Structure 1
Amino acid sequence: MKLQQKSSGESSGSVNEHTTSGNLKPFITSEEIQARVKVLAEQISRDYAGKIPVFIGVLNGSFIFISDLVREVSVDVEIDFLKLSSYGDSKISSGEVKLLKDLNCQIDGRDIIIVEDIVDSGLSIKYIRDLVLSHNPSSLEFCTLLMKKGLSNLSFDIKYTGFEIENKFVVGYGLDYAQKYRNLKEICILES
């Protein structure tokens, strides 16, 4: 789903008190997020009928999204997590991806769905793809809540995408800046 930034005159729904600090601009409401999560869950449920996929969440950003997503999926699933770092406390990727937590479950011969909060530079998702493919899964797909437009450097498709957004730095619904704002129910643009 392509999403256009709301003009300042449009209502964006319920906004947490954090957004009154002046540097957060409401972007995607909680209601819009939940509606899109349900659509993604329905697509995944159809595609994996009769199977038990392994959902692999990428920490820390995806924890809220994966939690809501798996509760809406109608097939049995297993869940595991990876933790990577490429940002630290910056708004700009360092260009280097570090694995901080590896998988606990065996994924050889399994149907895998990687669940990301956002695909922006493409570095992390490529790293994860290579890592997971080295374990010989039966299938591998990707699900992201947010996808930044213009990612021409990806050589593979992201099958399940919540919202396609412009190149803005966003926080909320699990996404952070220096570990802040993850608890926002909505997604906001963090302005300078």
Structure 2
Amino acid sequence: MEPQYDMDDFTKVIVTENEIRRKLDEIAAKVRDDYEGKELLLVGVLKGAVMVMADLARRLPPRVQMDWMAVSSYGSGTKSSGVVRILKDLDADLTGRHVLIVEDIIDSGITLHWLLGNLRSRGAASVEVAALLRKPDAVQVDIPVQYLGFDIPNEFVVGYGLDYAEHYRTLPFVAILKPEVYGDN
């Protein structure tokens, strides 16, 4: 039985489950073509990228490897501090490897810009980015994104890995969260 979702917390769904599925099919086809004959390491950025990473990886050849990082530039607030900290580092050695960073969303781009530089400095043969979502109006640092799902408005969104206070990550779609849910009441 499919779960039912109470839609009262959202102003609207901006990317449906079917749209996500179709876009991941497209991205996976491009990744398969681009990395044919190469060993690929997917690097997921915790926690938000879990859904994207799992669903993308299932569409790729079984020899693709996965690893995880947790990085933060937010501290306890909702705006980036600009100082990036590694909370969980990779287990894999990147020397000579083809790395694809898998992200749920590119917001300011500050953390991802730092992460690109960090992974490239570890001797990877290549480092590219796949992101399901990007907020063009919020981007402060230009990030080259090889594989992009959707550009979305600069709104507070949840679902498909994105959360508010650890809630809503498991939604199969992306929706705009009503300000009264996360704002000062």
**Is TM-score (shorter-chain normalized) higher than 0.5?**
yes
Q: 2:101–2:130: 8 Å Cα contact kept in structure 1?
A: yes
SS in 2 for 1:56: strand
Correspondence for 1:140 among 127, 137, 146: 127
Aligned residues: percent identity? 37
One-letter amino acid matched to 2:148: T
Return closer, same or farther for 1:89/1:32 CA change in 2, 3 Å cut-off: farther
Q: 1:90–1:177: 8 Å Cα contact kept in structure 2?
A: no
Q: What does the per-residue CA deviation read over 1:146-168, in whole Å, with 9 as the maximum and x for residues that have no partner?
A: 011143621x4111001011211
1:112-191 alignment, distance < 5 Å: 112-150=99-137, 151=139, 153-154=141-142, 156-191=143-178
**TM-score, L = length of structure 1:** 0.85
Return closer, same or farther for 1:83/1:18 CA change in 2, 3 Å cut-off: farther
- C-alpha distance in 1 between matches for 2:45 and 2:155: 20
One-letter amino acid matched to 2:170: N
Return closer, same or farther for 1:15/1:26 CA change in 2, 3 Å cut-off: farther
1:133 CA displacement: 1.1
Does 1:98 pair with 2:55?
no
Instruction: Tell me which residue corresponds to 1:76.
Output: 63
Structure 1 runs of 4+ aligned residues shifted over 3 Å read 87-91
SS in 2 for 1:125: helix
1:25 CA displacement: 2.4
Instruction: Tell me which residue corresponds to 1:26.
Output: 13
- C-alpha distance in 1 between matches for 2:11 and 2:26: 27
Return closer, same or farther for 1:191/1:90 CA change in 2, 3 Å cut-off: farther
SS in 1 for 2:133: strand
**TM-score, L = length of structure 2:** 0.88
Does 1:58 pair with 2:45?
yes
SS in 2 for 1:37: helix
Return closer, same or farther for 1:23/1:30 CA change in 2, 3 Å cut-off: closer
Q: What does the per-residue CA deviation read over 1:19-41, in whole Å, with 9 as the maximum and x for residues that have no partner?
A: 23x34521111111011011000
- C-alpha distance in 2 between matches for 1:113 and 1:23: 32
- C-alpha distance in 1 between matches for 2:108 and 2:29: 28
Instruction: Tell me which residue corresponds to 1:3.
Output: none
Count of residues in correspondence between the two structures: 177
One-letter amino acid matched to 2:117: D
Stretches of structure 2 that go unaligned for 5 or more consecutive residues are 180-185
Return closer, same or farther for 1:73/1:67 CA change in 2, 3 Å cut-off: same
Q: 1:52–1:75: 8 Å Cα contact kept in structure 2?
A: no
